[in-house]
Chains A and B, each alone.
Chain A
Amino acid sequence: MMETAIEIRDLVTHYGDREILRDVSFSIPRGRTTVILGGSGCGKSTLLKHLIGLLRPTKGAILINGMDITVMKEEELNGVRKRMGVLFQGAALLNSMTLADNVALPIREHTRLEESTIQIMVRMKLDLVGLSGFEDFYPSQLSGGMKKRAGIARAMALDPEFLFLDEPSAGLDPVTAAGLDELILKLRNVFKMTIVAVTHELSSLYTIADHVVMLDRGQVIFKGSLEGLRASDDPRIRGFLNRRPEAESYSPEDYFRFIAGD
């Protein structure tokens, strides 16, 4: 039995009146890579924002190492966030800073380490992601894949227990995306981190996933192993894995009524 690192219980969330996640419950095993899978708009990025404490749900609980972060005060939550590294979509590097300063920022902010130690750590993190020698480059001087790698180096700055990746390979060419997937595998193997990656890319899924949670229209439709996902006969899962477009959700007459405003 795998040890649970994060447990999500009956999570419900809204944007305004619109329900985004409906009774979402699943567990994230420790030291493994969990992929949250689903098509655009299924609620997976919203779910990730809840896991890192950026959004508060309408109801439900998120237990990280047994502690419910949905009821924590901001100060307490900041303590938990120090153990999390996050790669946001688009990497979210600060453009006015060099790569070295981007990676050093969380270390300078949260520790009392000497600058000489920080500089060595920064070079270690950049080497880890294959960016040795790029310390003095600015984000605007980098390719999309290099920016993502730099974003991972920054996410790794404080040696996090949890690494969250939002669409890590989206927008990258297949070779660059495959290189990034290899890096994610390496991080799990060497640092035994609990990794949570949100993606809709099947190639990433097949390379990095130990555990899969699939969302469809805000609901969990699958949780389990990659083998279990592949063997599923749920038509929504089969359609996604076989890259079939969804069936039209309403008739031409409904469409007419919708655009006519009836």
Chain B
Amino acid sequence: MTIEMDKYRDATVMRLSGEIDMYSSPGLRKELLSLVAERVSPLIVDFRGVSYIDSSGIATFVEGLKGMRSFGGRLKFVAVPEGIMEIFTFSKLDRVFEIYGSADEALSG
């Protein structure tokens, strides 16, 4: 998995690609929690290049969202591939995570 940080309008964007699994999740967690500690908001996570996410990846985002909510920050997901969306829907997390089609939608939502 690779993480690229970017800026789009007033938001910070985290672009992910590859597999988010039990080997790569600790690195993602470190990055995510350091953004939470800096109170970066809104944070847009772009899933376009993500081919797979396992339960450790989902747990990492649950931890990230919990941290964001602790200071009123917003975590927004964009371009979530269908297979990953199915897993979010199954676990009902599609109604907890804010999910948008694009960064523009995320910023107006």
Contact = CB atoms under 8 A, between A and B. Distances in A.
The dominant DSSP class at the B interface is: helix
A116 B26 contact: no
Give the size category of A's interface with B.
10 to 19
A219 to B, nearest CB: 39
A116 B55 CA distance: 13
Contacts, number: 44
A111 B21 CA distance: 10
B50 interface: no
Nearest to A119: B59
A16 to B, nearest CB: 41
Contacts of A158: 22
Contacts of A116: 63
Interface string A150-182: 000000001100000000000000000000000
A125 B91 CA distance: 10
A107 B56 CA distance: 10
B63 to A, nearest CB: 6
B29 interface: yes
A257 interface: no
Contacts of A124: 55, 58-59, 91
B90 A112 contact: no
A131 B3 CA distance: 35
A114 B55 contact: no
A117 interface: yes
A129 to B, nearest CB: 13
By Cβ-Cβ distance, the 6 closest A-B pairs, closest first, are A120-B59, A159-B54, A111-B22, A190-B90, A121-B59, A117-B59
Interface of A: 107, 110-114, 116-118, 120-121, 124-125, 127-128, 158-159, 190-191
